[in-house]
Amino acid sequence: MTAPAQLTAAVGRRRAYWHTGVCLAVLLGALWLARRHWTTVRTGAGRLVVADQGWLLLGAVAATGTWVASALAQQGAVERRLPGRRLVAAQFAACAANHLLPAGLGAGAVNLRFLMRCGLPATRSASALAVKATAGAVVRLALIAVLAPAWPGLLRLPHLSLSALVSALGLAVLLMAVLAGPLRPRCRRAGAAVLADVRSVHACPTRAAALWGGSLAFAALHALVLIAVTHAVALPLPPLRVALLYLAASSAAALLPTPGGLGSLDAALALALTASGSPGATAASAVLGYRLLTVWLPLVPGLLVLAALVRRKSL
């Protein structure tokens, strides 16, 4: 193995160890919280059993639609026409893989392999994924900005101690130093490729509509899943308020690289709902219902689809 390859492998191992350590810490924290509030969790699960089945069915339909929306956004991020059925199947498989690896690595790996199998070079495939991720982040922030003024004070920043602020500032400076140092040429090339793809997308109105429409539908459908579950468990919150809480909680949970937001998203959603005045048991049942429809029920079928795509060499 050459020296550059050895260095790359060492960096990859250190990154994997760091991700694993963070994941374990967050998961242990989530288990500790679940143990501490076990009575609330158990009561919430009981409420979910007797929830309104019609609303749960609506939530399941919305969860299914998220894969189609993700496929639409991915198609908008690339110039080449992708096979529609395999594209949707890849999003379904990516959703399952995303709950096994941290920080979206599973979904990214599945989509990267799919795009490369469709004939796109590795660099173009990675750039298309970056364009899609950027559009998704922009859409979420825009929705939060539109909805937040309707409930002033609902999204309050947590009080941070001086030590926490100093630590955050130190991490930011360290990150800037790393990016401005040995990674600067690579980051500049990657950024130039992404900007070129963004310009290419917006030069074609059809692609731009697919990218932004799919990204908007993806976020809205996930919010609709939570809205449907809150109605199913009789949680008395306005739908748009629930949507705002979901967008804020999921954006905050994205900062913690756990598989599929496991633990981080659950805690953020439960905290957001209870801080908005919901009873603890009802908030727990809403979070459990959302996770059931978006994670646990599709997980095994998604892994089977992933295996089938690999067997057919579509990935």
- Categorize the per-residue pLDDT at 280 as very low, low, confident or very high, splitting at 50, 70 and 90: confident
pTM, 2 dp? 0.77
Average pLDDT over the chain reads 77
What are 71's two structure tokens? 């496929």
Is the C-alpha dihedral spanning 172, 177, 183, 189 positive or negative?
Answer: positive
CB 273 within 8 A of CB 283: yes
Over range 49-75, report the average pLDDT: 92
- Categorize the per-residue pLDDT at 180 as very low, low, confident or very high, splitting at 50, 70 and 90: low
pLDDT at residue 66 is higher than 90: yes
Q: State residue 145's pLDDT score.
A: 92
| CA gap 292, 104 in Å, rounded | 19
| CA gap 173, 291 in Å, rounded | 36
Q: State residue 216's pLDDT score.
A: 97
Q: State residue 303's pLDDT score.
A: 84
Q: Minimal CA–CA distance to 264: which of 23, 19, 71? A: 23
Instruction: Enter the DSSP assignment of 99.
Output: T
pLDDT tens-place string over residues 188-224: 665 666 666 677 788 889 999 999 999 999 999 999 9
pLDDT tens-place string over residues 235-276: 888 999 999 999 998 888 777 666 555 667 888 888 888 888
| CA gap 80, 86 in Å, rounded | 14
| CA gap 175, 145 in Å, rounded | 27
